[in-house]
Amino acid sequence: QVQLVESGGGLVQPGGSLRLSCADSGSMFSMNDMGWYRQTPGKQRELVAAITSGGTTDYADSVKGRFTISRDNAKNTVYLQMNSLKPEDTAVYYCNARLKVVATIYRDYWGQGTQVTVSS
């Protein structure tokens, strides 16, 4: 069973930095694609960054050059380093794990979310 626990959110000033962490209790963490999503009230949850089991990364255009996703399989943890934060980055950030069952069938698991607020 997969349980995702996020940490690292908080209140920061514009231009500041935060590092989000997501610990995965699953037994096959290294095989999972992982991602960070964010959501603001009234808007769809959007992909911020993703990293595959093979280490390939992908970022939303709005965060390229500022955010970095990484994973430490030994710690069953995925990170999101957020630099040069802007007020528009304010959102609840969710950790996602996508587990492949068979072929093209996947299961998605979500953390509880952690609030990131960028404001002066």
The burial class, CB within 10 Å (0-12 / 13-18 / 19+), for 82 is: buried
Q: What pLDDT sits at residue 75?
A: 94
Query: Are 91 and 72 contacting, i.e. CB atoms less than 8 angstroms apart?
Result: no
Q: What pLDDT sits at residue 25?
A: 87
Q: Mean pLDDT for each 10-residue chunk of the chain (120 residues)?
A: 92 98 86 95 95 96 98 95 98 95 91 97
| CB count in 10 Å sphere of residue 75 | 12
Closest C-alpha among 18, 29, 37 to residue 111: 37
AA identity, residue 24: D
Q: What pLDDT sits at residue 29?
A: 84
46 forms beta bridges with: 38
Q: What pLDDT sits at residue 1?
A: 73
Query: Are 39 and 92 contacting, i.e. CB atoms less than 8 angstroms apart?
Result: yes
